[in-house]
Structure 1
């Protein structure tokens, strides 16, 4: 059966710094405790043990995974939790010596109850964790093994990946070729086809409200990042730069506007070029950095399709709104729906997990989604949308995931800024053509899958290769 991946699931509101290492583990831990509660045994729990395996353990400290697991056990939800409370959970539990499961049942919790096993790699997925609850006699009340498969999605060992059955989505598609065929048959664009599926699954009112809330959260994240100064968590003491860049660009814009109005003919020409070319491109990068600095600081972000790549789709959308006159309504509807349709192809046929496919699966997928979505809102045909998405991914193939110190900071923040520019460039190239091209989106997605499979594990979010071992900790 074909599965439909909803835009409301692919774009979920959560917290930083990682969808797979923060949001996913929080959800998994909470669901394990809820299962025991639903079985009527929560009051019998006296001890909880959690173990992080593979990539979750290798980069867990830099990604805030221990605190996220504890927050999930305590019943917190990524969409509604206080990010500051989550970030301090490990310290609070260690200081207090206990944990209130689902906010209702107090149990002891010691340092040995949350263990790291970075060299143990589960066969199904490198992001694995187990949660087990015990009664006073030491008997297990339930043990779950979870896989955090990217984008905040989690699946329990033995279960199929969570998705909506195709019977509930009238226009479910398996690949890009299938998507284009359905657009041709129905005589609609990608966004309209995706909208019909969302309405069938969620209802029109809930689907529209969900999409609006996600674009509002994306826009708010850009604004927050542009307004916030300071230093990001961790030993690198990486300074936030988006606010300073925005202030510099604002000053350049003001000067260029003044020259454009009252300067000499030469100054007016230079000012016009700056205002229409250089500054928009620089603002685009600032928007992306703003989001990823918020993410790195553990703030409120939207998985798009992951947290490590969360800056690209908001940045390109914000750019479209400011410099191309695209409305918020178009961004919440056509832009996000088109991006989600493309993102669902990566999730279904390859991977959006850096621990499974490298950064090509995160930043590459996001750039592809943003390129196709921008093409759609600028008037591109479905085939131009597919072409733009293909171009953007083609030039991210082989991109490794090598976060320094396990933090989603270096090279992640700048990488989002560069990929945003690639997405816009891909849109420009696609709109100059008629949608005809040699390499199909399906071919590049399959190539990405194969490349991720062949990539050494040390280059897939383990911080054991690349920049992660060539930047000296001090």
Structure 2
């Protein structure tokens, strides 16, 4: 069961699947031990990172996130100073305090394996955790999967067959849908927008007031991330010596904001998108939209087009944008995947571009059909986009790719609003095409840093 607020998660960079996911897996593993009354018996834990989690894990901060997850850190309540203290204890004393449990011996070099040669059939982001007692008896041996966007799943959950109406399975909602075609039919029948339909469905999970408050928190977190990214200068961590560029561009735009404003549209979108993804690359607080690697596109488009001198109008615009974009994200998550390790970057930047295009079309007064058309165009021209991060870092080409995605989303929305006739390609068809393309794509181009720019670019 997924809620709109599951698509947008406040967490930490640089990767929702490689950082946020492992953090959440660690805490879930501890919860499993605690439920069985075995947590206090744990004397040793072994971590095995499989597939993409190992191949690009060091650049994505996965080993650190995996350890901190076992220490009880959560992505939405992450204290960087406390995390540094725990990691210092692990590295200097080889001692790890389990969250809510005992402090155990833990040597990262011996107790954490980067098993890139193991690529699980269920999902390429596998993470196996084994807990033993003082006598070496296995207390718990589980494998979890980080499925993109901060979502995690057990083997049982991934083996469960997908239902046609899985978007609303498990919760009785007034307007269940599993396909874009169904969603558009509901909008036509109820004479309501996509945002209104999704808001009504969220009412089955919580009050409308709480849903709107949650959306406001997401919007504020996105905007705060832009603000931080516009003021932080210097070189990003990781060794590529990538310099933050958003602050310099922001300074130029702010010095002469009205000059050639139409021509500056690209610059504003580029500035905002890069600000977010530079923050993400530095391990800052970001919102999965739908992933960390693609976190800059929605905030950039929302910041530029939802700005309004009147606070209520600005807040209402942001809500409409996020509700509409989130509905599109739900379709991709349930019908295909938002994991770069499964789909390549079409599943991250491509999906974010599609979501932003649909959200913007709604803001511009587009009908539900035009919104779906904008989302379709946004993905159609990202099909086949590979995920080939240089050095396994979410920097090159990821930061600029978000800037390009934001601009492309705006154009997709404009194209959709200029079209009145039926489209040749439906949103459902392009989602299925993305899924098939991802399955056919070589693993070299799916967040493994074994192909593309990752092997042809040695240093920047």
1:67 counterpart (64, 73, 76): 64
- 1:191 corresponds to 2:195: yes
Q: TM-score, normalised by structure 1?
A: 0.92
Q: Are 2:293 and 1:308 equivalent residues in the alignment?
A: yes
Instruction: Name 2:143's counterpart in structure 1.
Output: 145
Match status 1:42 vs 2:39: yes
What's the CA shift for 1:236? 0.5
Matches of 1:229 and 1:237, distance apart in 2? 13
Runs (5+) with no aligned partner, structure 1? 258-270
Counterparts of 2:62 and 2:458, CA distance in 1: 23
Report how far residue 78 of structure 1 moved.
0.2
Alignment partner, residue 125 of structure 1: 123
Quote the Cα distance in structure 2 between the aligned partners of 1:367 and 1:282. Answer: 17
Cα separation, partners in 2 of 1:324 and 1:171, compared to 1, 3 Å = farther
Task: Give how far 1:377 is off.
Answer: 1.3
> SS at 2:141's partner residue?
strand
Show the counterpart of 1:335. Answer: 321
User: Cα–Cα, structure 1 residues 338 and 411, in superposed 2: closer, same or farther, change >3 Å?
Assistant: same
Q: In the alignment, does 2:367 pair up with 1:363?
A: no
- Quote the residue 1:267 is aligned against: none
Aligned to 1:413: 399
Alignment partners' CA distance in 1, 2:423 and 2:41: 62
Provide closer, same or farther for how the CA distance between residues 343 and 112 of structure 1 changes in structure 2, counting only shifts above 3 A.
same
Which residue of structure 2 lines up, in the alignment, with residue 434 of structure 1? 420
Q: How does 1:132-211 map to 2 (within 5 A)?
A: 132-160=130-158, 165-211=169-215
Counterparts of 1:244 and 1:335 in 2: how far apart (Å)?
28
Aligned partners of 1:341 and 1:313: how far apart in 2?
13
| CA distance in 2: counterparts of 1:438 and 1:44, whole angstroms | 61
Which residue is equivalent to 1:235? 239
Match of 2:77, SS state, is coil
Moved more, 306-315 or 243-252: 243-252
Change (3 A) 1:219 1:376: same
More deviation, 455-464/163-172: 163-172
Q: Distance in 1 between matches of 2:100 and 2:284?
A: 22
Aligned structure 1 segments of 4 or more residues deviating by more than 6 angstroms: 323-326
1:387 paired residue among 373, 376, 380: 373
CA contact (8 A) 2:289 2:298 kept: yes
Which residue in 1 is equivalent to 2:218?
A: 214
The residue aligned with 2:280 is: 295
Aligned counterparts of 2:408 and 2:196: Cα–Cα separation in 1: 26
Give the drift of 1:47.
0.5
Q: Which moved more, 1:449-458 or 1:82-91?
A: 82-91
Deviations, residues 41-94 of structure 1 (Å, cap 9, x unaligned): 211110111100000000000000011111110111100112455477545411
Task: Identify the residue that residue 95 of structure 1 maps to in structure 2.
Answer: 92
| Equivalent residue in structure 1 for 2:266, among 272, 278, 281 | 281
Could you list the runs of 5+ residues in structure 2 that have no partner in the other structure?
161-165
Distance 1:62 1:91, change over 3 A: farther
**Pairs aligned (count):** 452
Moved more, 450-459 or 92-101: 92-101
Alpha-carbon separation, structure 2, partners of 1:398 and 1:85 = 41
Structure 1 position 204, deviation (Å):
1.8
Aligned to 1:447: 433
Q: In the aligned structure 2, how far is the partner of 1:403 from the partner of 1:449?
A: 21
Corresponding position: 1:375 with 2:361 = yes
Find the residue that maps to 1:24 and give its secondary structure: helix
User: What is the SS of the residue equivalent to 2:255?
Assistant: helix
CA distance, structure 1, for counterparts of residue 48 and residue 194 of structure 2:
42
CA RMSD after TM alignment: 1.8
Report how far residue 281 of structure 1 moved.
2.2
Cα distance, 1:440–1:458 mapped onto 2, change above 3 Å: same
1:319 paired residue number:
304
Conserved 8 A contact 2:18-2:57: yes
TM (norm. structure 2) is: 0.95
- Paired with 2:43 and 2:119, the residues of 1 have a C-alpha distance of 29
Q: Report the CA distance between 1:332 and its aligned residue.
A: 3.9
- Whole-angstrom CA distance in 1 between matches of 2:389 and 2:309: 34
* CA pair 15-204 structure 1, distance change in 2 beyond 3 A: same
Is 1:27 equivalent to 2:12 in the alignment?
no
How big is each residue's C-alpha offset from its partner over 1:313-350, in whole Å with a ceiling of 9 and x where there is no partner? 11100011238989432244211110110011111111
TM-aligned CA distance change 1:83 to 1:426, over 3 Å: farther
